[in-house]
Amino acid sequence: MKSENMRPANVNIAIMGGSCQKKNPLLLSNLYWKISQHSAYWSPVWDNLVNVIAELEGSLRLKEFPLLKKFLPAVEVDHLVPPALVLFSSRLFREKNRAELPALFMAIIQMGTLFHNQAGEKGGQEQQLLILTGDYLLSSLFHLLCEKQCLFLLERFADLITVMSEGYACREEGKHQQLQRKEGEFVAWLRKQYGAFYGECCALGCLFAGGTPEEQSLMRRFGILLGIAHGAYLAGCKSSSWAVGVLEEALSVLLGLPATAERNELVSFSRGIVQCPTPIV
């Protein structure tokens, strides 16, 4: 049951607060993710994203679990899109500096489901280790929800992970059958694996920034469409014109919000990740 003291407004979400980047080793070059280079459209949230990754490494206790280090370098910058969306979305609303915690949650979900999916492409011990690593990541998420007094998110995260798993299963079924999917089936898969996830990222960023239920619904709609467009590009199964069409539909949703510099930044980021699926310079 959701209680008054479990609402986002009362959550302690200060992450790495007041840290000096020159003195804090977590914010320097010893991050396990090689994310020092990025395209310009990441810039508005890059410092926050580095904070999130540093907190993620601390939360997962990587120094105590060398197994994680073996697999984490495979995480690419595209895998940082979900937490970045949380950060970008929060900037559109009143309390824009409160999004690092939900971004941390979404980074863990992204990585945990990613490793579970990669396990299907491996065999033997490597497959087992990928599954165990994914399990560890997702169990760490539940621990963090308790630690940060965010149990009100438990049901929506459980629903999200279930839907994403269904999406991964649909994709594997298509590979196994070696059949060309109909457009409706293709979009349904993208909606589950990418749309639901990106929609939750955008809605969560809005929620923690004090957005109204109506604004959260708008951001979820935007994120679902953006996820479908980005997922189509990453899958390489659709023409660029189709994905760009879905992207433009997503961006039209944002017209329901005031025209601000922060909205323009989100538009630039959205165009960047869809038109350049691996945004590294």
Q: Is 61 exposed, middle or buried (0-12, 13-18, 19+ CB in 10 A)?
A: exposed
pLDDT tens digits along 240-263: 678 888 999 999 999 999 999 999
How far is Cα 172 from Cα 122, in angstroms, rounded to an integer?
Answer: 13
Has residue 177 been placed in a domain? yes
pLDDT score for 30 = 43
The encoded tokens of residue 106 equal 């979404």
Has residue 262 been placed in a domain? yes
Residues 196 and 224: beta-carbon distance below 8 Å = yes
Residue 43: is its pLDDT beyond 60? yes
Q: What is the mean pLDDT of residues 74-87?
A: 82
The confidence band for 140, taking pLDDT boundaries of 50, 70 and 90, is: confident
Has residue 167 been placed in a domain? yes
The encoded tokens of residue 280 equal 């590294």
Host domain of residue 223: 4-22+39-275
What is this structure's pTM? 0.79
How far is Cα 186 from Cα 39, in angstroms, rounded to an integer?
Answer: 29
How far is Cα 103 from Cα 100, in angstroms, rounded to an integer?
Answer: 5
The encoded tokens of residue 25 equal 């080793």
Has residue 28 been placed in a domain? no
> Where is pLDDT greater, at 48 or 171?
48
Task: Give me the number of domains the chain comprises.
Answer: 1
pLDDT score for 226 = 96
pLDDT tens digits along 82-108: 999 999 999 999 877 789 999 999 998
pLDDT score for 21 = 33
Has residue 280 been placed in a domain? no
Q: What CATH number should be reported for the domain holding residue 215? A: 1.10.600.10
How far is Cα 263 from Cα 256, in angstroms, rounded to an integer?
Answer: 11
- Spatial neighbors of 278 by CB under 8 A, at least 6 apart, are 76, 77, 78
Has residue 157 been placed in a domain? yes
Has residue 71 been placed in a domain? yes
Has residue 193 been placed in a domain? yes
| SS3 assignment, position 208 | helix
